[in-house]
Amino acid sequence: MDDITDAVRRILEQSKTRERGGPRSRLVDAIMVLLLSRPMRSSEIAAVLGFETKYVSSYLSYWKTRGYVEYTNGFWSLTPKGEEYAEGVLERETAEDVDRMASIAKRILSSIQVKETINDKTPRGERPGSRKSLSFIVPRTGKGHNELQERVRRASCILKVYKDDLDEEELEVLSSLLSHYAKWGNTYIYLDNLAETMEADYHWLLKVARRLQSKGIVYIYTDPRLGVRIGLTRNMKEALESCIEGP
């Protein structure tokens, strides 16, 4: 149980620091690992993880359709498929812990070796390898990369502007839209594609999108041939182009 608790805590901490696609996938990992301990009500899961019950329920309902969880007499539990997935997450988190500790151990040994090198009598200019370049710090160049970096900067800037004005669900959807923009340069996406990217329930996503529409952040358009499209409004695109990050 302690391993499960630690894994859930780490997963949630990571979900709060990842901007790409929002925290949805990591929160699902946390829910799956938590359900390894025992069947739970959605309100219990929400209380442990610090989210609203309806928010957690939307995840569970979606993953129920995928065959990972099941609902019986008010309790959610893992299916065999869900157990296999959750055990894989737990194993991965444990492996990451080992890798993290090994990295720290190597860094400690490296610092000892550096001290020994500095304290020797060899002239600085004659030390082997003193003139080797650090290839990993050579900056990337090229128009395409510069444009990508600029889109990432603008997307990050807009998220900071709106982070206090939107609730968690709205921020998650806006973050996914901006991630799509940063990667491809498009300010719109079809709702079914966005639902697949976010691993979200389509109806939940449409409901949140309508809230964003009422705030003038996105538009929703139904194409008779291709389906529902969601995109940034003209005002939002103008704000995106002119957004300047503070210090």
Q: What is the pLDDT of residues 63-107, one digit of tens each?
A: 898 899 999 988 999 999 988 888 888 777 776 666 666 667 766
pLDDT at 205 over 50: yes
Distance CA 80, CA 77 (A): 10
Q: Sorting pLDDT into bands at 50, 70 and 90, what band is 230? A: very high
Choose among 145, 216, 152: nearest CA to 179. 152
- For residues 122 and 118, what is the distance between their CA atoms, to the nearest angstrom? 9
pLDDT of 207 over the 70 cut: yes
Q: What is the pLDDT of residues 99-125, one digit of tens each?
A: 666 667 766 666 555 444 445 444 444
Give residue-wise pLDDT tens across range 129-160: 433 333 333 344 455 567 888 888 888 898 88
pLDDT tier at 214, thresholds 50, 70, 90: very high
Report long-range pairs for 146-152 (Cβ below 8 Å, ≥24 apart).
147/185, 148/182, 148/183, 151/181, 151/182, 151/183, 151/185, 152/182
Going along the chain from its start, the domains and CATH numbers come out as: 2-84 (1.10.10.10), 143-242 (1.10.10.10)
pLDDT confidence tier of residue 232, bands split at 50, 70 and 90: very high
Amino acid at 167: D
